[in-house]
Structure 1
């Protein structure tokens, strides 16, 4: 379910909303400050300036106060060595650790706190001698594959400009192209899931966020999830959902086409463009040059924060 900005809810949004004094009619100033040429800093609570009854309240003040007390009780501030001691005790009791276990265990900090203090959950696990059974290699290469999505989008945009004289603009996410305000294609990466036996066909999983229009050009990775094995082009629209599951059966159901080479994929995308856009540029109507600012940087495509705690990655 999307929030008012059309984005997925996260575990950090709810506490922020519950602590927002705007809902009880107060406006708060001086939360942050910045000296000329210096970095933005957060000011301590006692320096904040509050304007009472500045706007019409929509939450009862008594309920708001009760919510702040509950938030304060749930907040755990302990030293890093104590955080590790409690994590080790939780491991002995539960037998394993993951994001859900940590967030549901009383006395433990939130997963985001462990990531903030130790860099990632994997590093926190290592400090207590625990090795997660979850394969985190995929998570640690997500920055590399996000860059590949953006690179494919940029190459296709250049191809459309030089061969068809079309101005393809980037979506803010950096992985999709639009023409005339309509999403043309989005580039996704599908990791290959663990093989389930000889009787089961290979299966891939791609995170598609909230994309609901345009073509989906999916890069399917090899068994090690280290290189592109082939490409799949899916028509739109697909059934709503955050993920696209790819297998021989789903390809038939979605009418997807498989291409071994990137050039063949780009050719298929060009062939699907309306014929009215195929007019080649003439000397009297030269194509517009693309901005030199370059394409937007692609955002991570892993959805919610990984239970492994992502780190800077390379292939």
Structure 2
């Protein structure tokens, strides 16, 4: 289905499919809709994945699949991928019909050629659109506008109109209200700005990141997410050019849902002095020179020798163990120099006891949690609810009536290949509801949601499989619209 701004497109497509079904004598049993999802891959298209799973598992109680056109089946960058998924359906005795195409999907040479051309055109459309969108984003960066992401400690996002006039400061999870609006970064509260400048002063005086973090924590300081300072968060403040007012884009790219790539500085898009700086440029350059000098003075052999010494001292290796050491380069240096941390581990004779991807996924999920909480807050406020978010625990108070905790459950696979999830409820916070986000295989996007009322949950830990019986699956939802509706307000006259 098309994206939300195309207000009537999904409805129009469904109406067209309905007319096609009536004309050809089909009865529509159910609708599988992935509204506003990218068609580049199956990731995030939970409804289509569920449909294909039913087909492959022999659970399909239908004889045909009606799709608006070839592009709605997918804009796969490999045209053979779309053909493969259709082949899976055809092998199960289920025909895919493209309702708006000018050919019958009857397996003839003509229809096969047209389908192939259409699949190639659909993929090419996404590639061409990606180039245009990237060019537009680069132009906005050069004009000094922020392109996504949280502001960070000591900074805030300010929404401006098309003429640059300030409108309002955006809180965590909030987005601009009009397409013509833009976002810039501005200095945050004076106390945070003073802390950022103090971090630079302490670092230039010779105090390492770990000691700075300990000092801030000892004084009761917290990051912009309400969490204790770590060596990594201090390091990020010292190395991010946004603190000197530079707008930097394309440091990391993930175009067309392909593999995430860390780009060399030559490919970065930089607008110097786009924002009001928090620290002076000469101070920032001195700090960056110190950071870069720590890694430049080591060759590969020296890096591996340091890693071997750390292994002997700590007994195990991980990115967190490496990043918390002040006397050696960060884990990102090892990734860049050796291609991956796993390869660096092998070169010093270390094999992790568990799959290294588990640690990477956990770190990614921890970083994802504030974004998920922000999207829930946005959804509740969109229907007219009021939300009070505890900065220390992320516990949400909704309308002053009930509290909600958001937990993310990592996907795991058993030795037999079955999916499993574990949930640990925040018993200490005692929320009225726990919204559990089950991640998909790969732990990249949410698969579904469980809205669990505390009054019905007697155990602090839950183990979930793909199917769990009505006692648990009765609380399962494909999206959070039902949960948002709990916060919806109605006028007295409407209620009457």
Higher RCO (C-alpha under 8 Å, 6+ residues apart): 1
| Bigger share in helix | 2
TM-score scaled to structure 1, two decimals? 0.45
